[in-house]
Structure 1
Amino acid sequence: MNTRPVLLTIACVLALSACGKSPPPAKETATAPATTPEPAPAETPPAATAAPTPAATEAPAPAPATESKPAAVVANCGTTIEGNDAMQYNVGSIAVPASCGNFTINLKHAGKMPVAAMGHNVVIAKTADQQAVSADGMAAGAAANYVKADDARVIAHTKLVGGGESTSVTFPTSKIKTGGPYEFFCSFPGHAAMMKGTIAVQ
């Protein structure tokens, strides 16, 4: 028996089976970074990169300072206040002692202008009535000291005075103990916007 053809046949089978084997598959983890790249951090800009607006970095402009006037000095159930050519009182409030039965306000015009140009007075009324009292006083005219005659809303008032002049008024404190708040003001046309203050029994 000739074994050579058999050996050749076996050798060919082994060779073919060896050639037919495929290489082992590559590990999946080796190709993972190439197929699924991580997103770049630049895609989500940080909040710090946003440019601030000027309003956020600049301080707001300060509001105009409002001048605070002192309280009137009260002694012996009375006080003295001044008006000037700049259309101002020198005080912003009057505290009337509750122990006083009557109270006196002395008004001194510290300016130089005449009564017709820059006259001042002191009128006391409820804060809620101030504008109406001033309007009716304007209609009454200078001869009436810019106060409507027999105006029930007026607690008390002085006459008008010009530069260098003084006047006064005395009234019962019981008239301002309830029903307020009350104000003192100048009823010369246009003056009450700047010449006014609070008055109360304390």
Structure 2
Amino acid sequence: MVRKTFALALLGLFAMPLWAADCAATIEGSDAMQFNQTSIAVPKTCKQFTVTLKHTGKLPKASMGHNWVLGHAADESGILADGMKAGAEHDYVKPDDERVVAHTKLIGGGESASVTIPMAKLKAGEAYAYFCTFPGHAALMKGTLTLGM
């Protein structure tokens, strides 16, 4: 009886899509203007990748808002400059900015937001950076995203 139960449990484990758990990441942003992770590695088996941003602080988005923006590392300064011009009403992201691969909305303390990135938008070997575009935050709130080979 125990062997049969164990065998069924093991079979159920193999029936689950094991890659699904690896195709998502949760990043936390705090009132101290820091992400809890400075790098994300996306497995090559993913068809899409979801990032969830959680604001662990208590301050509102008007004074300590955070977002998660992904682009090529070389485009970071341009994305930030144009995001500042776009303002809070556009989540500090220039509308339809082709340099932005993906982004979440701007959130305040206790809130969360997610974005799903189709892997077809990314290329292995390219340098991707993520950062918060709220004015002044990117100096501390940044990281890198890499794709598995």
Normalised-by-shorter TM-score class: 0.7 to 0.9
Flag the 1:192–1:177 CA change in 2: closer, same or farther, 3 A: same
Q: What corresponds to 1:75 in structure 2?
A: 21
1:98 and 2:51 correspond: no
Q: What corresponds to 2:129 in structure 1?
A: 183
Checking the alignment, whether the CA contact within 8 Å between 1:176 and 1:200 is kept in structure 2 is no
Alignment of 1:9-158 (within 5 A): 75-158=21-104
Q: What corresponds to 1:58 in structure 2?
A: none
Q: 2:113 aligned to 157, 164, 167, which one? A: 167
Q: What corresponds to 2:5 in structure 1?
A: none
C-alpha RMSD of matched pairs (Å): 1.3
1:174 Cα deviation from its structure 2 partner: 2.5
**Which structure is higher in strand share?**
2
Stretches of 4+ moved more than 2 A in 1? none
Q: Please identify the structure whose Cα radius of gyration is greater.
A: 1
Q: Which runs of 5+ in 1 are unaligned?
A: 1-73
Distance of 1:75 and 1:127 partners within structure 2:
26
Distance of 2:116 and 2:40 partners within structure 1:
14
1:123 Cα deviation from its structure 2 partner: 0.3
Q: Which amino acid aligns with 2:85?
A: A
SS in 1 for 2:63: helix
Alpha-carbon displacement from aligned partner over 1:122-152 (angstroms, at most 9, x marks no partner): 0000100001101100000000000001000
Distance of 1:174 and 1:188 partners within structure 2:
27
Scaled by the length of structure 1, the TM-score of the pair is 0.62
Q: Which amino acid aligns with 1:151?
A: D
Distance of 2:88 and 2:126 partners within structure 1:
28
Aligned length: 129
1:175 Cα deviation from its structure 2 partner: 1.8
Distance of 2:123 and 2:78 partners within structure 1:
22
Q: Which runs of 5+ in 2 are unaligned?
A: 1-19
Question: Identical aligned pairs, as a percentage?
Answer: 60
Distance of 2:140 and 2:74 partners within structure 1:
16
SS in 1 for 2:46: coil
SS in 1 for 2:138: coil
Checking the alignment, whether the CA contact within 8 Å between 1:120 and 1:161 is kept in structure 2 is yes
